[in-house]
Structure 1
Amino acid sequence: MLSLVPAAVGVALMLTLAAGAYAASRTDGLDYRTAVLAAAVAVAVGGAAVTAVSVAPAGEPAAADGSEPRVTTTPAPGTATPTAIPTPTDTPRSPSTASTVVSVAAGDRLTYRTASGAKRTVRLAGVDAPGVEGASPRQFDGVLTGSRGRACLADQGRRSVRALRGRLLDETVTVRVVDERGTPTAVVTHDSRSINRHLVARGYVRATDGRYDDAERAARSATLGVWSCTLVEPDRPIRADASTGLRIAAVHPNPPGDDAAALNEEYVVIENTGRTTVDLSNWWLTVGDTVVLLDGPALHPGTNLVVHVGTGRDTDGHLYLGATRPLLGNAHGTLKLSDGDSNRSVRLTY
């Protein structure tokens, strides 16, 4: 209902404008039609003024400070309230589903059957396993390059398949698909444990993104699974020097990343398999064309000495040669350990 004050203002405005138009016609000699036109304009302006006045609904007084009163809009009876349309970020991710593993094709690929009977094949997200035919050693940073490294990865690829089959075949697992593009990738959980992380931690696969980096570092440190391919170990025990019992037990020639930036990760492991302590102060290590005096400590029976290529402080069980460049070949090489006081020597070729 209109307030009386705004209505009175509108009527007064109309009367004033009409009177002005009449006076103008009498004083200035305007014709009758001009006066009528002026009165019509006055009526129109006055009506608009009345219409334009904002009023408060009954029972809601205008603001005391003279500001415009608040207008509340109420939907008409029977009108549905509009619903916000969700944005793409509101769309939930693929839900986890309980399924049964029916086959394992590779160390990072399996097929499962859902509760409805449908079969789906997924790759394990965030990991990569070497195939049963091997893989390029360059994909597994730090692995021995060349045919020896490829053969080692092939062996580890077969091991990873056997491990995954033994753990998951015919077992109930939870599958959460994280990427539907191409062959879907998923995180698979068994007995409340992530299979993806488990495989990385055991060295069966490598991590391909940051989520499992900590597990890979631990596996590398323990030279588990594919990371055992970073070490050169004799296929069969090398006969140690009969009089000393010394032998070259392992070689780590290819550290991850830039070899020149990780010289202390290039190393040779010397083992005393004999029954007496051996003084290494006059023993020499030959690596290709490089001959280095060990000038090492006494090596007790049943102990190892790790000989690092780079620079560091010699400690019990660790010796540093102080080289400024890599010495060990990443794909192949020959090492010889010899006694400067006699003709005794031990050789390893890889």
Structure 2
Amino acid sequence: MNRSNAVLPACALTLGVIATPAQAAAPAIQLAKIFYDSPGTDRRGNASLNGEYVVVKNTTRAAIDLEGWSVADKTGYRYTFEPGQRLGPGRTLILRTGQGDSGTSTVYWGRRAYVWNNDKDAAYVRNGSGRLVDSCSYNSTYRDWVSCL
């Protein structure tokens, strides 16, 4: 093999590395699931309201302080995380629509009416500065939840 023939494979290898697009990093907090149609008939009872929920996941290797972060639907219903709410590395947190005692793995919106439409809607996660971090939408009449991952 002469010198000019050896250069071509080396150039092709280099170009292949350069031409490969970089993968986008997952957002720090990501919507994992939306359970938008609670079981049974919608009667606005607290148990039914809490059957409607969103799961958010910390995709990083560090705990994230969620103070000021928010989850909202398409019409603008917004839940803002309280001071002191942290989400550990790789952990998930459930945000339930109704009322209850919030803890480290489940928080309650405190609403007396549903947030998520049973047929189509979208969820948005914004950080403490108001920047959109993740979103997930659904358009379904045959399921009652959607996986966002």
Please indicate, yes or no, whether the TM-score normalized by the shorter chain is above 0.5.
yes
Say if 1:310 and 1:279 are closer, same or farther in 2 by CA, change over 3 A.
same
SS in 2 for 1:333: strand
- Whether 1:330 and 2:132 are equivalent positions in the alignment is no
CA distance in 2, matches of 1:284, 1:342: 8
- Coordinate RMSD, CA, aligned: 1.8
Rg (Cα) greater in structure: 1
Say if 1:295 and 1:256 are closer, same or farther in 2 by CA, change over 3 A.
same
* TM-score of the pair, normalised by structure 1: 0.30
Say if 1:276 and 1:342 are closer, same or farther in 2 by CA, change over 3 A.
farther
Match of 2:74 in 1: 288
- Whether 1:253 and 2:36 are equivalent positions in the alignment is yes
Question: Which one has the bigger helix percentage?
Answer: 1
Match of 1:312 in 2: 100
Partner letter of residue 304 of structure 1? T
- Whether 1:272 and 2:58 are equivalent positions in the alignment is yes
Match of 1:169 in 2: none
Partner letter of residue 99 of structure 2? T
* Alpha-carbon distance, 1:329 to partner: 1.1
**1:120-159, CA deviations, whole angstroms, 9 ceiling, x for partnerless residues?**
xxxxxxxxxxxxxxxxxxxxxxxxxxxxxxxxxxxxxxxx
* Alpha-carbon distance, 1:345 to partner: 1.6
CA distance in 2, matches of 1:295, 1:239: 27
Tell me, yes or no, if the aligned pair for 1:240 and 1:346 is still in contact at 8 Å: no
Match of 1:125 in 2: none
* Alpha-carbon distance, 1:239 to partner: 6.0
* Alpha-carbon distance, 1:286 to partner: 1.1
SS in 2 for 1:271: strand
**1:276-334, CA deviations, whole angstroms, 9 ceiling, x for partnerless residues?**
11111110111122122122611011110000000000122000000110101111111
CA distance in 1, matches of 2:133, 2:30: 9
CA distance in 1, matches of 2:98, 2:26: 26
Say if 1:347 and 1:239 are closer, same or farther in 2 by CA, change over 3 A.
farther
* Alpha-carbon distance, 1:253 to partner: 0.7
Match of 2:4 in 1: none
* TM-score of the pair, normalised by structure 2: 0.68
CA distance in 2, matches of 1:343, 1:271: 17
Match of 1:202 in 2: none
Structure 1 spans left out of the alignment, 5+ residues: 1-237
> Which protein has greater RCO, CA pairs closer than 8 Å, 6+ apart?
2
CA distance in 2, matches of 1:344, 1:330: 24
Tell me, yes or no, if the aligned pair for 2:67 and 2:128 is still in contact at 8 Å: no
- Whether 1:298 and 2:81 are equivalent positions in the alignment is no
Pairing of 1:1-350 with structure 2 (within 5 A): 240-241=26-27, 245-259=28-42, 260-261=44-45, 262-289=48-75, 290-295=77-82, 297-341=85-129, 343-350=131-138
CA distance in 2, matches of 1:266, 1:325: 11
CA distance in 2, matches of 1:291, 1:263: 16
Question: Which one has the bigger strand percentage?
Answer: 2
CA distance in 2, matches of 1:239, 1:321: 29
